[in-house]
Amino acid sequence: MMKFNESLTFDKTLYKADIRGSMTYAKGLRQLNILSEAELDQIVSGLKQVEQEWDEGKFVIDPKADEDIHTANERRLAELIGSSIGGKLHTGRSRNDQVATDLRLWARDQLADLEVSMKGVLRVCAAKAQSSLPVLMPGYTHLQRAQPVRFSHWLLAHATFIIGDFQRLKGIQDRVSSCPLGCGALAGNPFGIDRDFLASDLGFASVHPNSLAAVADRDFIVEILQWASLLMAHLSRLSEDLILFSTAEFGFVQIADAYSTGSSLMPQKKNPDSLELIRGKAGRVMGQASGFLASLKSLPTSYNKDLQESVEPLLDCVRTVSHCLTIIQGILGSLEINADKMRAALTADMLATDVADYLVLKGVPFRQTHHIAGAVVRKAEENGMSIAELPLEDLKGISPLFDADIAEVFDFERSVEKRSTKGGTSRSSVLAQIAAIESLLSQP
């Protein structure tokens, strides 16, 4: 039962948060004169020594006494300063509000680190989009060539999803910053401890408003897991595109050797294992989100030990997302773009919509021009040539409105530059998207 019940093997990661919360709680007890100034000093000094032992890898775990990080730290503190003083630290406090506080403190710091990592990815996206602005490529729907776009526009499409994830992260950070310390086991603190002080000293933005809810509130963990699932879905989709684009069949990009592996059998192989791992780990994070939500759904009010099952998914999820963001930033930063291959993949039939638009400007309703452009495509196929090669007389046979200026339509750069509205693929539109990312990154 000791092995089944213990959590120290994984929640020891929270040791800094646990010690920080204990120091603040000791200050709160000092305000109530439950601790003297000298006792507070001894407790704070002892906790710093415990933290140093963890930092240096010298903390000795007692397998018979240390059930979790809270009991381990308190046991060691009592050994260092004596149980008569160390034993006062837990006055009015429960492991229920203690672990809730630890998790929020730890998550807050980790989310701040993930925010920095996401900014790094967006910064690389903006820089790569800027440097590759002239590069044109096929845009796809249904994985079929559709219309020409800038490579920068494709990259910024993925960046746009990450911006959404970044904005959602901000909301989660606000909700994580609610302090449960001082709620006791479930009913509140009997000594009148100043919860506003506890929250302020720990840097929380607010006090959790209900003690019953506070000790059992893991909604912030659910939010983190679900947020991470969507972020990983986006990173997985980016990875899938890059995996396809790096194949010999596409040849649009080349993944740097640092982020590729070779085959154990075939010496010519260069595998995008980094991207495949990101794609695979997306499923892992999504599973953690659905798994913990299933654990949470039927719990009776207030704290239950089932909530211990929130810790491992949270720790693993944050670690996984952090690693994936670091790797994708490196992949994008070192990505080699084959502009010639992308240009060669552009075909005149991708300008069929531009043919329809040409007739729209001559007063023909679009529904009619769509059918006319379709007839142009069929005629070119019958003649075994591209629509750009069709003789003018053949075009006039389809519609008398075609004139010599139709030749101007068969220009990929012109087609791209016509899409100049906000969010479009023209140079000015792409530059505006880059500027928007740079503006976001400049905000504190």
Range(s) of the domain holding residue 249: 96-344
CB 105 within 8 A of CB 20: yes
- Same domain flag for 108 and 219: yes
Catalytic residue, from 36, 83, 131, 263: name it. 263
Percent of the chain with pLDDT over 90: 96
Pair 308, 199 in one domain: yes
This prediction's pTM: 0.94
pLDDT in tens, 14-70: 999 999 999 999 999 999 999 999 999 999 999 999 999 999 999 999 999 999 999
Of the three residues 52, 68, 91, the one that is the final residue of a domain is 91
Domain with residue 370: its CATH number is: 1.10.40.30
142 and 183 in a single domain? The answer is: yes
- Which of 314, 250, 247, 252 has the alpha carbon at shortest distance from 285? 314
Structural domain includes residue 429: no
| 189 phi, psi to nearest 5 deg | -90, 130
Contact (CB, 8 A) for 103 and 314: yes
What is the pLDDT averaged over residues 413-433?
97
pLDDT of residue 54: 98
**Tens digits of per-residue pLDDT, 132-175?**
999 999 999 999 999 999 999 999 999 999 999 999 999 999 99
Q: 3-state class of 43 per DSSP? A: helix
pLDDT of 188-232, one tens digit each?
Answer: 999 999 999 999 999 999 999 999 999 999 999 999 999 999 999
Residue 428 domain-assigned (yes or no): no
121 and 31 within one domain: no
- Is 150 in a helix, a strand, or coil? strand
243 and 308 assigned to the same domain: yes
Residues 202 and 215 in one domain: yes
Mean pLDDT of 241-248: 97
Residue 180 and residue 225 share a domain: yes
Domain co-membership, 65 together with 146: no
Q: Are residues 307 and 365 in the same domain?
A: no
Residue 337 CA to residue 252 CA, distance in Å, equals 6
My answer on whether 297 and 160 are in the same domain is: yes
Does residue 267 carry a pLDDT above 70? no
The string of pLDDT tens digits covering residues 309-322 is 999 999 999 999 99
Contacts of 224 (CB under 8 A, 6+ apart): 107, 111, 172, 176, 314, 317, 318
**Is 443 a domain residue?**
no
CATH number, domain of 161, equals 1.20.200.10
At 87 the pLDDT is 96
Rounded CA separation 104/366 (Å): 56
Query: What is the pLDDT confidence band of residue 383, given thresholds at 50, 70 and 90?
Result: very high
Q: Mark which of 56, 91, 126 sits at the end of a domain.
A: 91
> How confident is the prediction for the chain on average, in pLDDT?
96
Residue 326 lies in a domain: yes
In a domain, 440, yes or no: no
Q: Tell whether 296 and 158 lie within a shared domain.
A: yes
> What is the count of structural domains for the chain?
3
Is it the case that residue 286 has pLDDT exceeding 90?
Answer: yes
Residues 6+ apart with CB under 8 A from 3: none
Residue 434 domain-assigned? no
- Please indicate, yes or no, if residue 244 is contained in any of the structural domains: yes
Residues 386 and 271 in one domain: no
**Domain boundary at 91, 116, 139, which?**
91
Query: Contact, 112 vs 169, CB < 8 A?
Result: no
* Rounded (10°) angle between helices 273-296 and 219-245: 160
Q: Is 142 an annotated catalytic residue?
A: yes
Q: Tokens 């780990």 sit at which residue? A: 281
Tokens 């075994």 correspond to: 384
433 in a structural domain: no
Please tell me whether residue 174 adopts helix, strand or coil conformation.
Answer: helix
**How sure is the predictor about 422, in pLDDT bands with cuts at 50, 70 and 90?**
very high
* Res. 268: pLDDT tops 80: no
Given the residues 142, 264, 439, 442, the one annotated as active site: 142
* CA count, 13 A, side-chain hemisphere, 401: 17
Does the pLDDT value for residue 444 go beyond 90? no
Can you give the pLDDT at residue 270? 86
- CATH of residue 36's domain is 1.10.275.10
